[in-house]
A and B are shown apart, each in its own frame.
Chain A
Amino acid sequence: MAETILSISHLTKRFDDQTILEDLSLEVREGEVVVIVGSSGCGKSTLLRCINALEDIQGGEIRLRGELIRYGSKNLPEMRRKVGMVFQNYELFPHLTVLENILLAPVKAQKRSREEVREEALTLLDRVGLKEKAGSYPRQLSGGQKQRVAIVRALCMHPEILLFDEVTAALDPEMVREVLDVIVSLADQGKTMLIVTHEMSFARAVADRIILLEDRNILEESDPETFFTAPKTEQAKKFLQSFEFNRKNKAEA
């Protein structure tokens, strides 16, 4: 069995007196694609934000290849370089071109040679069909293009694991596909990923394992076939039903 990359144990997260996550444990192995689903507001984004310590945690610990990721610790920037994060609203830097957006952290934070990273960035941009946009500014791109740039920006850091937080939720429907196709191809390349999404057919196709987050913890965890065809809990059934539409008085065919 592949080595464990990310290990979350007994994580508790509170905002003031509101407990969002309680005693949550989760392991992700190398090359594994784990999809997290759950109703809005159940704490999916918070979980991802805890993983690269954008949030302080109130209990438990998070380790990346055995090394502690801790809010406020001195080596945090170093640890964060190993975790790639893609946000719902891209969060590209508006004052930098596409290429500068991608090069900034590898060059400034990882101290890699500009030439080498540039080469790699252009190859990756080409692969997502955006090579000719290297010199454009984010405002000149469509949402789908921005999100693909954001993915390339994360990839260029050579992270151990990639976190995706509803990366197609802000996109117009016709752009969702181009972004999800990129993520599927990353899965095929064997990248380790933790993906939060509301796109169920994508989840089913890309996931090695599906996790339903509900009520502060992991409620159900199974392979995608089981999850979608034979959910174990009532809540999982309810959750899946929320993606279906039924007309009561339509004649059966």
Chain B
Amino acid sequence: MPDLGLEVLWRGKNFVRLLGGLWVALRISLIAAGISVVAGILLGIAASRKRSVSSVILRIWLGIIHIMPQMVLLFLMYFGTTRAFGWNLSGETAAIIVFSLWGAAEMGDLVRGAVSSIPVIQRESAEALGLKPFQVYRWIILPQAVRRLLPLSINLITRMIKTTSLVTLIGVVEILKVAQQIIEANRKASPNAAFGVFLTIFVMYYLACRPLSLAAKKLEKHWR
């Protein structure tokens, strides 16, 4: 059997350190996802009114975020703005800001799409029953929009978790950084550590993201 370099994981606290790195990655994406969902819903509802100022802002913002590599945004935020404006940002904070800007734009667009995909006559049918505008949103529009939205937003969160692998480039010690440190430190004792460590990361990412995409599929089926 070839040496897969797995034994390095059991040396010292290496495995726990990897888990810690994964947690950093998850923490960044989950905080950013939370901010994105709240901001995205507000932005999306505002933008669902045609020709509103907010819909124009959202479109421009989204246009920029879409074509911009995430790395450029991260570098701009972490190296650029700290110099230019002289403030202090930790890598993790910078990452959360960038991910939130990205997530809020995409989430906003998803919400806008979901809300405006509900036929006008559904709203009219609810109004004709004497429901007040707020009640129409609460009981008719939003529940139907959320059903269309949830699978898509889970997909977005999964993409966020994946993209955290970039934040190592602005000095955040997340799972990939920890991996490099472990491999580096054990180069003599376990020359094959790279395979074992990255294989472990492979499995960890899978275990972290798979339940989300399963849940998305399940909800999609459940709600049709």
In whole Å, how far is A57's beta carbon from the nearest beta carbon of chain B?
A: 16
Report if B211 contacts A (CB, 8 A).
no
Given the contacts A91-B121, A93-B122, A105 and B144 also touching, CB distance less than 8 Å: no
A153 at the binding interface (Cβ < 8 Å):
yes
Chain A residues lying within 8 Å of B135, measured Cβ to Cβ, are 108-109
CB-based contact A157/B129 at 8 Å: yes
* A54-B124, A87-B125, A89-B121 as given contacts; A105 in contact with B130, CB under 8 Å: yes
Q: How far, in whole Å, are A138 and B148 apart by their CA atoms in the complex?
A: 17
A226 contacts the other chain (Cβ, under 8 Å)?
A: no
Q: Which of A78, A91, A93, A94 contacts B130 (CB 8 A)?
A: A78
B127: chain A residues at CB < 8 Å are 54, 77, 80
- Bound-state Cα–Cα, A110 to B132, Å: 11
How far, in whole Å, are A95 and B122 apart by their CA atoms in the complex?
A: 11
Q: How far is B144's CA from A157's CA once the two chains are assembled, in angstroms?
A: 23
Given A93-B140, A95-B143, A95-B147, the answer on whether A81 and B130 have CB atoms closer than 8 Å is: yes
Check if B132 sits within 8 Å of A77, measured CB to CB: yes
Chain A: minimal CB distance from B123 (Å): 10
State whether A80 touches B144 (Cβ < 8 A).
no
A77 to B147, CA, bound (A): 27
Chain A neighbourhood of B139, CB < 8 A: 104, 108
A36: B residues at CB distance < 8 A: none
Report the nearest A residue to B136, measured CB to CB: A77
Interface string of A63-88 (1 = CB under 8 A from B): 00000000000000111110101010
Q: Are A77 and B131 in contact (CB under 8 A)?
A: yes
How many A-B pairs have beta carbons closer than 8 Å: the answer is 57
CB distance from B60 to the nearest CB of A (A): 30
Q: How many residues of A contact B (CB 8 A)?
A: 24
Residue B126 interfacial (CB < 8 Å): yes
Distance in angstroms from B172 CB to nearest chain A CB is: 41
Q: Are A153 and B128 in contact (CB under 8 A)?
A: no
Q: How far in angstroms is the closest Cβ of chain B from A75? A: 10
- Report B173-205 CB contacts with A as 1/0, cut-off 8 Å: 000000000000000000000000000000000
Closest to B133 in A: A77
Contact status of A91 and B143, CB under 8 A, knowing A77-B132, A81-B130, A109-B132? no
For A192, the chain B residues whose CB sits under 8 A away are none
B130, B135, B140, B224 pick with most chain A CB within 10 angstroms: B130
Judge whether B147 and A85 touch: CB under 8 Å: no
Nearest-neighbor residue (CB-CB) of A109 within chain B: B130
A25 CA to B223 CA, complexed, in Å: 46
Pick the contact of A52: B121, B128, B223 (CB < 8 A).
Answer: B128
- Contact present for B125 and A80 (CB under 8 Å): no
Bound CA–CA A52/B129 (angstroms)? 10
Contacts of B130 in A (CB 8 A): 77-81, 105, 109-110, 157
User: Of B124, B129, B224, which contacts A105 at CB under 8 A?
Assistant: B129
A139→B147 CA distance, assembly (Å):
15
Q: Which 5 A-B pairs have the closest CB atoms?
A: A81-B130, A91-B125, A105-B129, A85-B128, A80-B130
Given contacts A80-B129, A81-B129, A108-B135, list 13 more A-B pairs with CB under 8 A. A52-B128, A77-B131, A79-B130, A91-B122, A91-B124, A93-B122, A93-B140, A94-B144, A105-B129, A108-B131, A109-B131, A109-B132, A153-B129
19 A-B pairs within 8 Å (CB atoms) are namely A52-B128, A77-B127, A77-B131, A78-B130, A87-B121, A91-B122, A91-B124, A91-B125, A93-B125, A95-B143, A95-B144, A104-B129, A104-B139, A108-B135, A109-B130, A109-B131, A110-B130, A157-B129, A157-B130
Interface residues of A (CB under 8 A from B): 52, 54, 77-81, 83, 85, 87, 89, 91, 93-95, 104-105, 108-110, 139, 153-154, 157
Q: What is B's interface to A at a CB cutoff of 8 Å? A: 121-122, 124-132, 135, 139-140, 143-144, 147, 223-224
